[in-house]
């Protein structure tokens, strides 16, 4: 596939924007390539500036769950835009979207809209600290909760992709209260609670990890975290920025019937426009200003255009068979990958839930970031290059999940599986 115009645009961008991109994973550096500059998207596909067409398995990192430029969502966004881009004050749409989200999350009484997942997680941590009057926080290796200072420790996503263990520019004093445990290791967390008795404000966790590839929680792990938090008076925060409305109607907490104290959401709730939220029990949420003394604010919070996109997206997604369809199409893809791998003697782990999935070229079962790092990066690079050059747009990092949408068709999956089969055959040689 020729990417001549993209290459030139990338050259220009690098003189204007650090690394030529506005979010590091997008450089494709981890797969020894450069980005395709995208011109447009429709349904399951995107087209680059050279006219190449790709079946998209990134879907704006999971946000565009209905497919690109869904006609009804576009109409809602245009209608909202014609009324004004934002007013910096209350609009009715915010309550409509809040009501729709709250009805899907029984553990939430109230929610506050912000503009990004980073803000949602940063605010959730501040709220947990303000509420418990404790400072320490437990996070898991390979989990990524945005780029606020205290959470940039042993993080997944771009940091893992670029092998940056922890960001420079974060003073040691900002992270000395961040304790780190391996995902799926409950005993390790128990030990932390013993060592730091009465000091831990919260655990923050991606219930299904999407920022270290896709990693499923072992049975009992999240339930164990719930119990530990309850026993020790700490708050359990589920970061469902990726998993919210993606695994099922609700989130991982609905699927597993676990009630976290706080939840962060993003991506799907804006249908591709920038909006995120944090929510939880009224007793905790009422500590946020103006009701309480934990401060948070934002000019673009609850932006009416993003809200309109979110309302329409959830309205369409709420139809009866949406998640059955998402799961069925994801399973079809995963089965196809496993079959192509077995036919070509390639060892691959492929797993997914709802419309989210991931693969690892690993000998052993991957259940933590540490396991993911031991999987075969060279195999992944060869796989990525093979599919990308054949028109399948895959996350350019071992440490990112993949996403499908309601616009992906059986024909898309058949075509993708055929491509993967050809790539595996080539990799075997
Ligand atoms: N943190 C995002 C998903 N893990 C990646 C965002 C991006 O690079 O665009």
Closest-lying ligand 1 atom to the alpha carbon of residue 157: 4
pLDDT band at 84 (very low <50, low <70, confident <90, very high): very high
pLDDT band at 164 (very low <50, low <70, confident <90, very high): confident
**Mutation test of ligand 1: which of 25, 151, 268 has the most ligand atoms closer than 8 Å to its C-beta?**
25
Q: Residue range 124-137: average pLDDT?
A: 98
- The DSSP line for 53-78 is EEEESSTGGGT-TT-BT-HHHHHHHH
- Contact between 402 and 329 under an 8 Å Cβ cutoff? The reply is no
DSSP 8-class letter at 358: E
The pLDDT assigned to 172 comes to 86
Same domain flag for 263 and 151: yes
Question: Is-catalytic flag, 42?
Answer: no
Q: Ligand 1 — pocket residues by CB below 6 A?
A: 23, 25-26, 61, 157, 211, 400
Q: What tokens does 237 get? A: 């925060």
Q: Assign residue 369 the CATH number of its domain.
A: 3.90.1150.10
Q: What is the pLDDT of residues 298-319, one digit of tens each?
A: 999 999 999 999 999 999 999 9
- Contact between 333 and 357 under an 8 Å Cβ cutoff? The reply is yes
The pLDDT assigned to 173 comes to 87
Which of residues 298, 317, 336 is at a domain's end? 317
Same domain flag for 281 and 362: no
- Contact between 65 and 246 under an 8 Å Cβ cutoff? The reply is yes
Which residue(s) pair with 271 in the sheet? 273
pLDDT for 147 beyond 80? yes
Ligand 1 center to 60 CA (angstroms): 8
- Alpha-carbon torsion (164, 209, 386, 393), positive or negative: negative
The pLDDT assigned to 429 comes to 78
Residue of 239, 351, 371, 412 with catalytic role: 239
**Mutation test of ligand 1: which of 142, 148, 158 has the most ligand atoms closer than 8 Å to its C-beta?**
158
Closest-lying ligand 1 atom to the alpha carbon of residue 26: 8
Same domain flag for 340 and 235: no
Closest-lying ligand 1 atom to the alpha carbon of residue 61: 3
Q: Residue range 181-195: average pLDDT?
A: 97
The pLDDT assigned to 398 comes to 93
Closest-lying ligand 1 atom to the alpha carbon of residue 211: 4
Which of residues 317, 348, 368 is at a domain's end? 317
Ligand 1 center to 25 CA (angstroms): 7
- Beta strand pairing call for 110-114 and 136-140: unpaired
The residue segments making up the domain with residue 90 are 71-317
Angle between the N-to-C axes of helices 410-428 and 377-388, in degrees from 0 to 180, rounded to the nearest 10: 130
pLDDT for 98 beyond 80? yes
Residue of 57, 131, 144, 393 with catalytic role: 144
Same domain flag for 206 and 327: no
The pLDDT assigned to 310 comes to 98
Ligand 1 center to 65 CA (angstroms): 16
Residue of 57, 136, 139, 267 with catalytic role: 267
Ligand 1 center to 83 CA (angstroms): 31
Same domain flag for 363 and 410: yes
Same domain flag for 213 and 272: yes
pLDDT for 166 beyond 80? no
**Mutation test of ligand 1: which of 59, 157, 246 has the most ligand atoms closer than 8 Å to its C-beta?**
157
Q: What's the pTM value of the predicted model, to 2 decimals?
A: 0.97
Same domain flag for 49 and 152: no
pLDDT band at 428 (very low <50, low <70, confident <90, very high): confident
Q: Residue range 151-156: average pLDDT?
A: 85
Same domain flag for 12 and 82: no
Which residues, in sequence order, are CB contacts of 224 under 8 Å at separation 6+? 186, 189
Of the candidate ranges 87-91, 165-169, 235-239, the one whose mean pLDDT is the lowest: 165-169
Q: How far apart are CA 382 and CA 376, in angstroms?
A: 10
Closest-lying ligand 1 atom to the alpha carbon of residue 23: 8
Same domain flag for 202 and 257: yes
- Contact between 212 and 156 under an 8 Å Cβ cutoff? The reply is yes
Same domain flag for 325 and 383: yes
- Contact between 397 and 380 under an 8 Å Cβ cutoff? The reply is no
Q: Assign residue 248 the CATH number of its domain.
A: 3.40.640.10
Which of residues 317, 334, 367 is at a domain's end? 317
pLDDT for 163 beyond 80? no
Same domain flag for 263 and 327: no
Ligand 1 center to 61 CA (angstroms): 6
For the chain, the domain total comes to 2
pLDDT for 158 beyond 90? no
Q: What is the pLDDT of residues 235-293, one digit of tens each?
A: 999 999 999 999 999 999 999 999 999 999 999 999 999 999 999 999 999 999 999 99
Nearest one of 135, 136, 211 to 403, comparing CA atoms: 211
Question: Is-catalytic flag, 393?
Answer: no
CA 248 to chain centre: 14
Q: What tokens does 258 get? A: 């676990």
Cα angle 286-287-291, degrees, rounded to a multiple of 5: 65
Ligand 1 center to 288 CA (angstroms): 28
Q: Residue range 414-418: average pLDDT?
A: 98
Same domain flag for 64 and 76: no
Q: What is the pLDDT of residues 334-393, one digit of tens each?
A: 999 999 999 999 999 999 999 999 999 999 999 999 999 999 999 999 999 999 999 999
């Amino acid at each position: 596939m020729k990417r001549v115009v993209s290459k030139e645009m990338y050259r220009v961008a690098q003189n204007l924007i650090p690394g030529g991109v506005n979010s590091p994973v997008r450089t494709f550096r981890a797969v020894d390539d450069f980005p395709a500059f995208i011109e447009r998207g429709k349904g399951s596909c995107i087209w680059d500036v050279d006219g190449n067409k790709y079946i998209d398995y990134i879907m704006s990192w999971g946000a565009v769950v209905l497919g690109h430029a869904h006609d009804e969502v576009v109409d809602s966004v245009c209608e909202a835009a014609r009324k004004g881009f934002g007013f910096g004050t209350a609009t009715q749409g915010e309550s409509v979207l809040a009501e729709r989200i709250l009805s899907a999350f029984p553990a939430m009484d109230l929610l506050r809209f912000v503009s990004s997942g980073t803000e949602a997680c940063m605010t959730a941590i501040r709220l947990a600290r303000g509420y418990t009057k404790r400072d320490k926080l437990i996070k898991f290796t390979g989990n990524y909760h945005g780029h606020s200072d205290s959470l940039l420790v042993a993080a997944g996503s771009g940091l893992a992709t670029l092998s940056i263990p922890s960001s420079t520019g974060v003073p040691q004093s900002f992270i000395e209260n961040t304790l780190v445990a391996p995902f799926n290791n409950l005993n390790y967390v128990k030990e932390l609670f013993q060592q730091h008795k009465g000091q831990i404000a919260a655990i923050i966790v991606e219930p299904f990890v999407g920022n270290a590839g896709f990693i499923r929680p072992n049975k009992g792990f999240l339930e164990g975290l719930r119990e530990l938090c309850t026993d020790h008076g700490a708050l359990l925060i589920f970061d469902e920025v990726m998993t919210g409305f993606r695994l099922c109607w609700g989130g991982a907490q609905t699927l597993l019937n676990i009630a976290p104290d706080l939840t962060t959401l993003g991506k799907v709730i804006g249908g591709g426009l920038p909006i995120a939220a944090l929510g939880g029990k009224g007793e905790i949420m009422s500590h946020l200003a103006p009701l309480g003394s934990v401060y948070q604010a934002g000019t673009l919070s609850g932006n009416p255009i993003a809200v309109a996109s979110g309302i329409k997206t959830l309205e369409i997604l709420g139809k009866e068979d949406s998640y059955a369809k998402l799961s069925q199409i994801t399973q079809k893809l995963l089965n196809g990958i496993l079959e192509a791998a077995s036919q070509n003697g390639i060892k691959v782990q492929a797993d997914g839930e709802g419309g989210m999935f991931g693969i690892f070229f690993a000998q052993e079962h991957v259940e933590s970031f540490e396991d993911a790092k031991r999987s075969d990066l060279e195999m992944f690079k060869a796989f990525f290059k093979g599919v990308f050059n054949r028109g399948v747009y895959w996350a350019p990092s071992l440490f990112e999940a993949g996403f499908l949408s309601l616009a992906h068709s059986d024909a898309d999956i058949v075509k993708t599986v055929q491509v993967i089969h050809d790539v595996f055959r080539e990799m075997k040689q």
